[in-house]
Structure 1
Amino acid sequence: MEQLLQHLRNLGFTELESKVMVCLAQQSTQSGYEVAKRLGVSRSNVYATLQRLLTRGVVQLTPGEPARYSMLPVKELTRMIAGQIDASLSYLEQAMPSSREESPSFHIVEGERNVIELINRELDKAGEEIVAGIWREEAAWFRQKLENAEQRGVRVLWSFEGLEEDGHPGIRLLKGGISGRKFWMVIDRHWCIVGMRGDGIPAQALVTEHPLMAELLLQHFSQEIILYEMENDLGQELIRRYGQGYTRILDRYLPGIIPAD
């Protein structure tokens, strides 16, 4: 019941309007007095609510003594609401003023649900290319959306962060590392998201369309590809010359950087 009421609220109905609608749907026709009694709400509030619902066209009135009310058939109701929403969204796209910023902005998205919903919306809009770096634990969030994108012709390139197939971790660039799992994504070479989450750590992400961020992430991905190919071809030779995890190179430029344990 609560889930149904929540969806009605999401569609713009008030708490009492939602309860009255559900109450009317549970029985063919009822008077305002009967609805008020079943809900335990004052008759004046119920009659005012019924009047608003009549005005919106979601409730039908049968005149009489007393007058009786009934819900619009559910299929007719959903078609009507869908039409109203489509019309409002169409008008919004055309009429809403859009501020022109001199440079792309950055903003933060917090909470796992908000991050997942945002990325899924952007994946649905991807037209040409998706490039991503993600841990296996988070890959389940987007696997279906990525598969759907591939099926409609979008090129999808992604790498797994963290442990590799053989169990060896990547290089940790700071002693102690960062607690949590990072993820990033570039869609159509302009929309970017960089974030992290982990056990006990709420998901948080930075979102931008700044071209510099897209360039940095794509360069990072290209470097990973180059290293992957080189390590496959020259693995032992690279270890002999540069040390495990390239420590000899790292110590030369940034002493103290060590491979992950």
Structure 2
Amino acid sequence: MATSEVTAALQTLGLTEWESRAYLALLEEAPATGYAIAKRAGIARAKIYEVLASLTARNIVQVSRGEPQKYGPLPPRELISRLRAQFNDNLDAAEDALTVYANAAESGGEIWDLQGRSAIIERANQLISVAKSRILAEIWAQDVPALHEQLIAAIARGVTVIVIGYGELELPGAVIHRHPGTDVVTSGLGGRWLVISVDDREIVAGNVSAGAHSRAAWTSHPGLVVPVTELVRHDLYKIEMLDRHADVLEASFGPGLQRLRDKYAPLAGQ
């Protein structure tokens, strides 16, 4: 292969033309002085030490301590392995940065209409995957398997996961408060709802039991995030109060607070 082709190939890996030529010169003759490398590579003597310093800083070239200083190249196989590792690290860093940026740009104050169960579950899992401190959620038992992996991963990261569970939920590491009126709520809402609030800053909330006709909202708009998150908190207050004072509360409002539910039931036809 011609020297120009190899030089061009090295440039695609992030080396400059002069760096590529100096490296190839060292593969042909090493150890070598800066003067000898400049002569063999066709690089001006005034520039060769700058080029060699750049290659040395990147551990592509080693330099001796004696006088005159001599240089040697990293073997090609090791060079490619190192560049591949650096490239993969850079790709990972770029992916993380772009994901954070895209999420912020996508949901910055807009209210998005998610249609179809798969789209809702996918977005809920994405929110869970970037949670840093706390997840508040209301989940029916039938929908836990679709979210289980990301919720467990969040718990492993140290995220506090607090769930109001409708039915029997298995989610090790989460704080689960079982809702006492699963069937009543399901009937009143017209299906199973999913509410995910992440770090009090972003939510997904909607019906996930209607298949392709399921609909939910996804947003970081405080006009929805604040009241929806607060509703989850109020459900938590209610469940904890029922756990401790069910006899008193149910004496006033009926089993499961049914008389309160009836008093503020959805309007007919809604």
Taking structure 1 as the reference length, what is the TM-score of the superposition? Answer: 0.53
Q: Does 1:108 align with 2:119?
A: no
Which letter does structure 2 place at the counterpart of 1:129? R
- CA deviation map 1:143-172 (0-9, x unaligned): 121111111111111111368969743655
2:206–2:217 CA contact under 8 A, matched in 1 = yes
Rate the CA distance shift 1:257–1:249 in 2: closer, same or farther, 3 A.
Answer: farther
Q: Say if 2:164 and 2:178, in contact at 8 Å, map to a contact too.
A: no
Shift in Å, 1:243? 2.3
Structure 2 gaps of 5+ residues are: 1-80, 169-176
1:139 is displaced (CA, Å) by 0.9
Aligned to 2:214: 203
1:100 Cα deviation after fit:
8.6
Partner of 1:54: none
Task: Give the drift of 1:193.
Answer: 0.6
> Who is 2:253 aligned against?
242
RMSD across aligned positions (CA): 4.3
Aligned to 1:135: 140
Contact 1:132 1:185 in 2 (8 A): yes
SS in 2 for 1:189: coil
Summarize the Cα distance change of 1:230–1:190 in structure 2 as closer, same or farther, 3 Å threshold: same
- Structure 1 unmatched ranges of 5 or more: 1-75
Letter in 2 for 1:198: S
Given the alignment of the two structures, is residue 212 of structure 1 paired with residue 217 of structure 2, yes or no?
no
Q: How far is the alpha carbon of 1:218 from its aligned partner? A: 2.2
What displacement does 1:134 show? 0.8
Could you say which residue in structure 1 is the equivalent of 2:182?
169
Q: Percent identity?
A: 21
Could you tell me whether the CA contact under 8 Å between 1:189 and 1:214 is conserved in 2?
Answer: yes
Contact 1:171 1:245 (C-alpha < 8 Å) held by counterparts? no
Question: How far apart are the structure 2 equivalents of 1:148 and 1:140?
Answer: 13
Give 1:127 deviation, angstroms. 1.2
Give me the whole-angstrom Cα distance separating, in 2, the residues matched to 1:154 and 1:193.
18
Does residue 1:86 correspond to 2:98, yes or no?
Answer: no
Bigger mean CA offset, 107-116 vs 242-251: 242-251
Aligned partners of 2:207 and 2:266: how far apart in 1? 24
Distance 1:212 1:100, change over 3 A: same
Do the aligned residues in 1 keep the contact of 2:188 with 2:266 (CA within 8 Å)? no
Q: How many pairs does the alignment contain?
A: 175
Report whether the alignment pairs 1:223 with 2:228: no
